[in-house]
Structure formats: structure tokens, C-alpha cells
Amino acid sequence: MSLKPFFAKIFAKKIYQKTQIWATKPIETQQKVFENLIKQAKKTQFGIDHHFDQIKTFEDFTKNVPVRDYEGLKSYVDKVVKGEENILWKGKPLYFAKTSGTTSGAKYIPLTKESMPFHIEAARNAILHYIHETGNADFVAGKMIFLQGSPILEEKNGIKLGRLSGIVAHFVPKYLQKNRLPSWETNCIDDWETKVNAIVEETFDQDMTVISGIPSWVQMYFEKLQQKAQQPVGDLFKNFKLFIYGGVNYEPYRAKFENLIGRKVDSIELFPASEGFFAYQDSQAAKGMLLLLNSGIFYEFIKSDEFYTDNPRRFTIGEVELNVNYVLIISTNAGLWGYNIGDTIQFTSLKPYRVIVSGRIKHYISAFGEHVIGKEVESALQEAIIGTTICINEFTVAPQISPPLGGMPYHEWFIEFDPDASGEPQNLETFAEALDSAMRKQNIYYDDLIVGNVLRKVVVTKVAKNGFQDYMKSIGKLGGQNKIPRLSNDRKIVELLRRE
């Protein structure tokens, strides 16, 4: 019998107790982080340029350091990429996490010796909090899989770079090495479809207990497993107990996953990014994820409906309110300052501070002033399928301002339903009615537009099987950490989807 579960429970209790120390003193904790960040970076080029030696308070900081996105910090990042020292943070970073999606191409997010440990500890601590709360620890003796990017790293001016998930693969603790799948060789496969096929072959006859990854790509893995085994994933992996995910809301996928698995399994939500590991689900009973206030990150929050106004107010942790949509701004021990990561969050609890990810500040629909956000479309879809057998593989929403056949404009939902007959709506118009009704409850401005006959009710367009995968493949973003935007204010994505 393995001793791992026994020692995991002891370790879990210790980590839980350590967490309570800072979680019960959130304002003091953040103030210490703030002071330490300013002190450490005073002699960097950024610190000198922004008069860190004169910053004593948060008010000083907001006067000296404007809110920026990657483009705003790029002139500094470029110097770091060239190999210069003491630019955004002392010395040189250990790694660059390479991401895509900006107007200038690839982004190079620095990871320092001070910031890197928190990426590793947060993922570990999420599992330990689950063990402490539930008492379930047997899974630690089984096999674990983490669907992630290739760990093969490049080098740029003496600094290694790669996808964050690939970098993290180099930091897997020794006590997990024997339990962890896939093999190093398989993990290094770059083509996503080839990689998933190889993972299926490696894990098919293993005792898988923990599976982790972005839901849309884990779904692809499950479908291939089920096809090979001709049985539910939960029957193939009888001890599969825990699904760990991040990047997108799990709820739209839950019915599909339970169908693929054949039973319910516990899940843990994470909120990681190249810029930092911000939160993890610390309780199965509470809504939201614990915001990590003691991880070398100082947080600011700007109300999303004020974000594009002149000089929007920047709030600290002690000033936030429940259920308000905030743009998340960070300053970190990797050298990001007043940095807008693009995500919006809402607080579900203030004791302790727990959050949900509500969307992206650039991903919204407001063609008519409705300002619909990601959380609202996800919640509406979830409500519309309650009590039905409908299963959703993937979806996105876009406005149709100029309908091809004339008439009133509308929001068009592009949905890939489960190809099984039971997974599709029996009547698409009835489903669209339910979806529209749920959407009107989520957003009062949208409701006003429907009542005022400015918009007609939603239109649902079915996407062919694997249509979203084919779309992601066509733009070179199949697998890894890439995600389908839930909604957009134009039709660029959906017009490409129509061609697939």
C-alpha cells in the first residue's frame, strides 16, 4: 500500500494553515507585497524612469505608473529580450513565456527566479486544499496527466523561452515523476492531433486518477479514448477521481464531460497565465477561486464599464465589491507594472477574497450598447440546457448587424452540439427561445433592446462536427493553451467558421 496518500494529508493540512495566515489578513498582505515590489525594483531602469524612490503610497504609485498592456511595456520588454539587465526587474529573467495574439506578433513575458516558484506552488496547493477539505487522497498514488505544450525550449540572448506549460514541465517535483504522464518524448510532439493520439496510446491501459488541461482539448482526448475503448472514460479509468482545468469556464462542457466519463468526478478550477498564477479553487463548497494575495503580485481593479474613460479609478483589494465586473491589473516580481492582462473578474466572496473569471475586456458584444460579456453568455447557455439532454461541444457568439435577408439585427450563436442525436435540441427554434429568455435575464440592456424592437431574438446556427477544431487548426492554434473566444464584437471568427 502506498504511503503517498498518508503524507499528502499531512502536507495538505500544513499548506492550508499557511494559507489561512495571509488569507485572513488580505489588506496587510497586499501592502507588504506592494512595498517589497517597489523596494526590489528601485534601481531598475523602469524604477528609475518612474521615480520608485519617491513612491511611498498606492496613490504615489498610480500617479507615477500608468496602466499599460503589453504594447505599452514593449519598449522595456524589447531591451530585456536583447539581453540587457536590470530593466523591469533586477538582473535577467530565467525564462520568457512566449505567447501570441498581439498586434506586434509574439509576446515575451518574463519569468524570474522570484516569480517562477509561485507558478509551481499554486498548482500544487490547489490539489492540497482539495485533499484537506475532502479527505480524498488516494488519487495521489495513481497516474496523473497534464495536457500541455511542448517542453522543448528555444534560447534568445542567453534566456530560454517556450510556452508556459512547457516551461512548467521542467519543474515537476521528483515525487511526481513516476506518476506523471505522458512521457517526455510524447510531450515533445508539436502537432496537437499527433500528440493526443500518442497520449491515448500511452494512457489507455494505465490507472489514470487525475487529468488536467483546458476543457476543450481534454474533451478531444476523451473522445479519442472512448472511440478506442468503446466504453466511457470512467469505466476505462475506474479510479479517475479528479479533473483539474483552467482557461475557460467548465460549466458549458460539464454535461458533455459527464456523458464521456459516464459519471461525475470532482473538479478544481485554476486561474493561471504567463503573467502569473492568480487564483485557484480552494473549496468544493464555495463559489469562485481564492485570489492569491501572497504570491509576489500586487493587484489593482478597474470597473470594466469605466475602463475606457479618462483616468478611471484604480481600486485596491480593500475597496472592491461583490458582483462588480473589474479589469484585473497587476504588478509582479517578474517586472510587470500596472499591467492589464486583459481578463475581467468578479468577486464572489470578500472573506476570503474569491473570484470568477467573467471574460476578456476585449471580448464583448456591444454593437447596440448592450455590452454583453463572457460570463453572461456562458450562464445563459447553462440555464437553457438545464433539464435537457443537450450537450455542447463548443460555441461562440457574434452580432449580425446587417442580416442578409433584411429585417432586424440579432445576436447569432454558433454552436457545435454533440453529434449524438440525444445531444442536439429536438427543436432549434424552441432552444433559441430558451436561450434568448435566459440572455435577457443576464443583461438588462439586452432585454431593453429586445423589448424596444431594436434587436430580434437570438438566432442559433449549428456548426458541423469538429468545426471549431478545424477553425483553430486553420489559424495555427489547435491545442495547447489556445481557446475559442466566447464572443466578439465583429464577425471575423464566425465568417471563418462558416467556411469550415
Tens of pLDDT along the chain (500 residues) come to 467 888 889 999 999 999 999 999 999 999 999 999 999 999 999 999 999 999 999 999 999 999 999 999 999 999 999 999 999 999 999 999 988 654 456 889 999 999 999 999 999 999 999 999 999 999 988 999 887 778 889 998 889 998 888 888 888 777 666 788 888 899 888 888 888 899 999 999 999 999 998 888 888 899 999 999 999 999 999 999 999 998 777 887 888 888 899 999 999 999 999 999 999 999 999 999 999 999 999 999 999 989 988 899 999 999 999 999 999 999 999 999 999 998 999 999 999 999 999 888 888 788 887 888 888 898 999 999 998 888 888 999 999 988 887 788 999 999 999 877 678 898 999 999 999 999 999 988 899 899 988 899 999 999 988 888 888 888 877 776 677 888 888 888 888 887 65
User: Would you call 240 helix, strand, or coil by DSSP?
Assistant: coil
In contact, 275 and 332? CB cutoff 8 Å:
yes
- The residues with which 290 forms a beta bridge, in sequence order, are 280, 354
Distance CA 285, CA 129 (A): 12
The answer for 351, left when phi > 0, alpha when psi is -120 to 50, beta otherwise, is beta
- 310: burial class by Cβ within 10 Å (0-12, 13-18, 19+)? exposed
Long-range contacts of 63-69 (CB under 8 A, 24+ apart): 65/331, 65/337, 65/338, 66/338, 67/300, 67/302, 67/314, 67/329, 67/338, 67/339, 67/340, 68/337, 68/338, 68/339, 68/340, 69/339, 69/340, 69/342
pTM of the model: 0.85
- 406: burial class by Cβ within 10 Å (0-12, 13-18, 19+)? exposed
The answer for 83, left when phi > 0, alpha when psi is -120 to 50, beta otherwise, is left
In contact, 184 and 209? CB cutoff 8 Å:
no
Distance CA 151, CA 101 (A): 21
In contact, 185 and 109? CB cutoff 8 Å:
no
Residue 172 vs residues 112, 166, 212, 218, 346: alpha-carbon distances, Å? 17, 11, 14, 20, 31
Helical axes 467-474 vs 492-499, angle rounded to 10°: 110
Distance CA 448, CA 364 (A): 18
Looking only at the bridges linking them, the beta strands covering 353-360 and 159-162 are unpaired
Spatial CA neighbour of 80 closest among 116, 57, 111, 40:
111
Distance CA 468, CA 479 (A): 11
What type of residue sits at position 322? L
Distance CA 71, CA 104 (A): 8
In contact, 479 and 396? CB cutoff 8 Å:
no
Distance CA 61, CA 420 (A): 56
What strands, in cross-sheet order, belong to the sheet with 159-162? 105-111, 95-102, 159-162, 154-156
Cis amide linkage into residue 485, ω under 30° from 0: no
In contact, 294 and 33? CB cutoff 8 Å:
yes
Write down the pLDDT at residue 1. 45
Buried/exposed code over 449-472 (b: 16+ C-beta within 10 A; e: otherwise): bbeeeebbbbbbeebeebbbbbbb
Looking only at the bridges linking them, the beta strands covering 242-246 and 154-156 are unpaired
Angle made by CA atoms 185, 188, 194, in degrees to the nearest 5 = 95
* Residue 307: φ, ψ to 5°: -60, -40
* Residue 231: φ, ψ to 5°: -160, 160
Write down the pLDDT at residue 164. 86
Q: What DSSP element (H or E) covers 71?
A: helix 70-81
Buried/exposed code over 262-295 (b: 16+ C-beta within 10 A; e: otherwise): eeebebbbbbbbbbbbbbbbbbeeeebbbbbbbb
* Residue 20: φ, ψ to 5°: -60, -30
